[in-house]
A and B are shown apart, each in its own frame.
Chain A
């Protein structure tokens, strides 16, 4: 069955520190992968996506993600976190019906 696992429910980092959010997927075919961010009370904003090609993809707000087929991973990174990055982050893989299969999310807190 298709699934997405985000192992970390909650992460706290200091402002200016680097960030890596983990995502592992289970999908038989070539995956289409996404990272979304959600601020409290808001909708979902697409950070970046991987469809094919270069395994390192750049997104908005200084985020990047690396697709590693051998590890079934699509981890999200940012070199220096800003207080405004505090939010919940969702990894998703596109399912066979065109729907998105989401992980349960990782909540990011940023310490001043």
Chain B
């Protein structure tokens, strides 16, 4: 059971470079989410996709874009990376965002911007 798979696991970028974080789930879930985790801040929502074809901003969307490529995949793009985007990024999915369902998380991507 793969669950939620994120790639890459680690990445170092230079300021101004771009990259895309990939996330795929094999549970036929409708809703997918991107969070960032910073020390002492818990996890904060960047963007989410309630269903295929829709995306919405979360709490901290600035500097990011997302694409819900299909029902399985939800990517996060940094167009011009900044040191403030150094963080651990987690992707999650749920069967349906409005029901009493639990979220399943990927193993995270540790990103460092120098």
A residues with a Cβ closer than 8 A to B are 4, 9, 32, 34, 42-44, 46, 49, 51-52, 90, 94-95, 97-105
Q: List 9 A-B contacts (CB under 8 A).
A: A34-B103, A94-B100, A97-B56, A97-B97, A98-B31, A98-B96, A100-B43, A102-B42, A104-B40
4 tightest A-B contacts by CB? A98-B97, A102-B42, A51-B100, A43-B107
Question: In the complex the two chains form, is A104's CB within 8 Å of B58's CB?
Answer: no
The size bracket of the interface on B is 20 to 34
Chain A residues with Cβ below 8 Å from B44 are 102
Tell me whether B2 is interfacial, beta carbon within 8 Å: no
Interface mask (B32-47 → A, CB under 8 Å = 1, otherwise 0): 0101000011111100
Tell me whether B21 is interfacial, beta carbon within 8 Å: no
Shortest CB distance B27–A (Å): 14
Chain A residues with Cβ below 8 Å from B107 are 42-43
B residues with a Cβ closer than 8 A to A are 31, 33, 35, 40-45, 48, 50, 56, 58, 90, 92, 94, 96-98, 100, 102-103, 105-108
In Å, the complex CA distance between A101 and B40 comes to 14
Interface of A: prevailing SS? loop
Chain B residues with Cβ below 8 Å from A44 are 43, 90, 105
Q: Which of A4, A46, A97 contacts B50 (CB 8 A)?
A: A97
Question: In the complex the two chains form, is A100's CB within 8 Å of B50's CB?
Answer: no
In Å, the complex CA distance between A98 and B32 comes to 9
Shortest CB distance A104–B (Å): 4
In this complex, what residue of A is CB-closest to B44? A102
Question: In the complex the two chains form, is B42's CB within 8 Å of A43's CB?
Answer: no
